[in-house]
Structure 1
Amino acid sequence: MPYPHADDPRVRPVEDPEPEVAEMLAKTMGDGRGQPLAIFRTMARHPRLMKRFNVLGGFFLTRGELPARERELVVLHTARRSGCLYEWAQHVIIGGRSGLTDDEIARVATPDRRGEWSPQDEVLLRAADEVLAEADLTDTTWAELGARWTDEQRIELVMLVGFYRMTAGFLNATGVEKDDDLPGWPETTEDPS
């Protein structure tokens, strides 16, 4: 789980970007006020990296082969396992728009409710756990995923977990703060951090 920091954010979001960076930020997701999200304004401190990060992140959110609901289930699970409140909060919103119910979102945050998932969802969560813990999948999990998902989708699933684990590390280490209007951890669970 994240370390306590003396100061957060450790890296301040860009407030008055250079024109080239402002143009890149204008193409990112924004909040309800039209402001680019804090993740992108923080990553704007490294514009070349932000540009490439946005390409891959945009692929997962808009061009991937996994259905949106299943993608968001895995992203939320990765955020919880990584103790990344910012990632969790943003994807609670995205997950709700993608078909996850409020109960499903709360269940992701409550590990002792794992037996309440369908077999199809359970194998996705187990796959995420294996990639997070071992950077690998067991033969059993790979085969169970293959009963429903193509090789292309299984590859994407592994990359999705890795991408959002990397993103959680960036968010936690730089101390990107979530906006006050975004949800926190569900009340039914302890703060995983």
Structure 2
Amino acid sequence: MKLSQPRITPIGEDEWTDEQRESLEARSRAGHVYNVIGTMARHWEASKKFQVWAYHVMGDTSTLVPRERELLILRIGWQCQAEYEWGQHVIFGKEAGLTDEEIARIKAGPEADGWDPFDATLLRAADELHADAFISDATWAALSERYNTQQFMDVVFTVGQYNMVSMALNSFGVQLDDGVAGF
């Protein structure tokens, strides 16, 4: 973790408005609100708008299959050194079919031995977006072998979304949730 203590603490249940209570209780897991959600709730109006977009990227309206989406998210989380993001998405990545070996290899990047060529291309796209805010022609051409226009857009949207989330998590000092391993 970049910070050992939060700069912005998650909103406490005793601080919730009625609207927040309804929303946060619905999104809790076993009575626990994830630290990221509780922290974002400190800016409630922004949080409500953020949720709409976040649910596109992580939800059913994204055109990316979950495994490929998680490759992108884990790579940008690693590139941004966002330990909270990494820890949460290791869980989601495993649910989407990523193996422990693949998750470990994401840290090494697209040139690591053992990647399927298309998976390596996805990681390369995340790296290029992180470094240059641009997908190179060569990577675009490789993606075009399988992806349509909306999928191209969702690659950029996913990496961009989680780049921003990583900035927020790192800067706000969002701490790992109980039971979630970091790097």
TM-score of Structure 1 vs Structure 2, range by shorter chain: over 0.9
Q: Deviations over 1:105-159 (max 9, x none)?
A: 1111234962321101011000001111111111111111111111110111011
Match of 2:178 among 147, 155, 180: 180
Residue 59 of structure 2 aligns to a residue whose secondary structure is: helix
CA-to-aligned-CA distance 1:55-98 (integer Å, 9 cap, x gap): 11111212211000000011011110000000001101111101
> What is the aligned counterpart of 2:51 among 29, 51, 54?
54
Q: Which residue of 2 aligns with 1:190?
A: none
Q: Distance in 2 between matches of 1:130 and 1:76?
A: 14
Cα distance in 1, alignment partners of residues 157 and 58 from structure 2: 13
Q: 2-side partners of 1:112 and 1:55: how far apart?
A: 31
CA contact (8 A) 1:107 1:113 kept: no
Report the CA distance between 1:19 and its aligned residue.
1.1
- SS of residue in 2 equivalent to 1:44: helix
Q: Is there any run of 5+ residues in structure 1 with no aligned partner, and where?
A: 186-193
Q: How does 1:18-57 map to 2 (within 5 A)?
A: 18-28=17-27, 30-31=28-29, 33-57=30-54
Equivalent residue pairs, number: 180
Identify the match of residue 136 of structure 1 among 121, 134, 137.
Answer: 134
Which one of 82, 87, 91 corresponds to residue 89 of structure 1? 87
How many angstroms does 1:45 deviate by?
Answer: 0.5
Unaligned runs of 5+ in 2: none
Indicate how the Cα distance of structure 1 residues 142 and 98 shifts in structure 2: closer, same or farther if over 3 A, else same. Answer: same
Which runs of structure 2 are paired with 1:157-172 in the superposition (5 Å)?
157-172=155-170
Seq. identity, %: 39
The equivalent residue for 1:66 is 64
Paired amino acid for 1:147: E
Describe the superposition over 1:9-60 as per-residue Cα deviations: whole angstroms up to 9, x where unpaired: 00011012111112222343x34x3211110100000011111111111112
Question: What's the TM-score, normalizing by structure 2?
Answer: 0.92
Q: What TM-score do the two structures reach when normalised by structure 1?
A: 0.88
Question: Over aligned residue pairs, what C-alpha RMSD do you find?
Answer: 1.6
| 2:181 aligned partner, one-letter code | P
